[in-house]
Amino acid sequence: MVFDDIAILSVITLSTSTIAAVFGFGGGMILVATLPNILPVSAIIPVHSAVQLISNSSLAVFSWRSIHWAIVRDHLIGACIGITAAYLLLRDLDLTMTPAIIGAYILISLWSSSFSALMARIESFQILGAIQAGLSLIVGATGSLQLPALLRTLTNHHQVVSTIGVLVTTDHLLKLIIFYAVGFEFIDYAPSIACMSAAAVMGSYCGTLIRRRVDMTRHVWVIKLLLSALAVSAIHGSF
């Protein structure tokens, strides 16, 4: 990839990683929705997974005291089952439709009250882990799926954000194992992944500082509008 593309991807990653650290959701979705404009379709989810692994693990490290490890354990059990099932069922999926699928999922997760109500009724983090990890293999970013259950279980915003960081880290790690096993050439995108990962760590650090000083939860609507615009653009670009 040319230097300009790598620079653009790094700036986007810095911004989205900061958003994820502040709000606890949205960063990964924004990043994956922008990647079809720069990367080949076959590289969108693998590269996104590699960068988000670093982004979310760094977020967890910066807030490790707030992590709820019992939830992480239950999530990991479900995630292993869900991502294996998704791969076996969808390994022949036409990748040219990946941007449209990503965009459709973002719009449904943001604006469908039926979908939100269904996810909100699920209490088991093992079931939620299976759903989240399975979907993540297809759409890249599903970190907000467990938000209703986490808000019911955990006592403060810092616990929610740091625990989500670990849950999403496990999903991306499992995806990387699958992509490596099927032969994706990560080395071809090593410079991009390295620069984006460094930007992700910086964003996690900056976002954590912001979250500890400023209550940004009232501005979630801005992220939702941005995500919606990117989702529509991804769908439109697929046709």
Q: pLDDT tens digit string along 154-176?
A: 988 889 888 988 998 999 999 99
Kindly list the domain boundaries of the chain, sorted by start residue: 3-237
Residue 116: C-alpha distances to residues 93, 112, 147 (Å): 26, 6, 10
Q: pLDDT tens digit string along 20-57?
A: 888 877 888 899 999 988 999 989 999 999 998 988 88
Residue 67: C-alpha distances to residues 4, 52, 146, 167, 207 (Å): 37, 18, 15, 10, 17
The answer to whether 45 touches 140, Cβ cutoff 8 Å, is yes
Q: Give the span between the Cα atoms of 124 and 141, in whole angstroms.
A: 20
**Is pLDDT above 70 for 98?**
yes
pLDDT band at 72; cut points 50, 70, 90: very high
Q: Looking at residue 143, what is its pLDDT?
A: 63
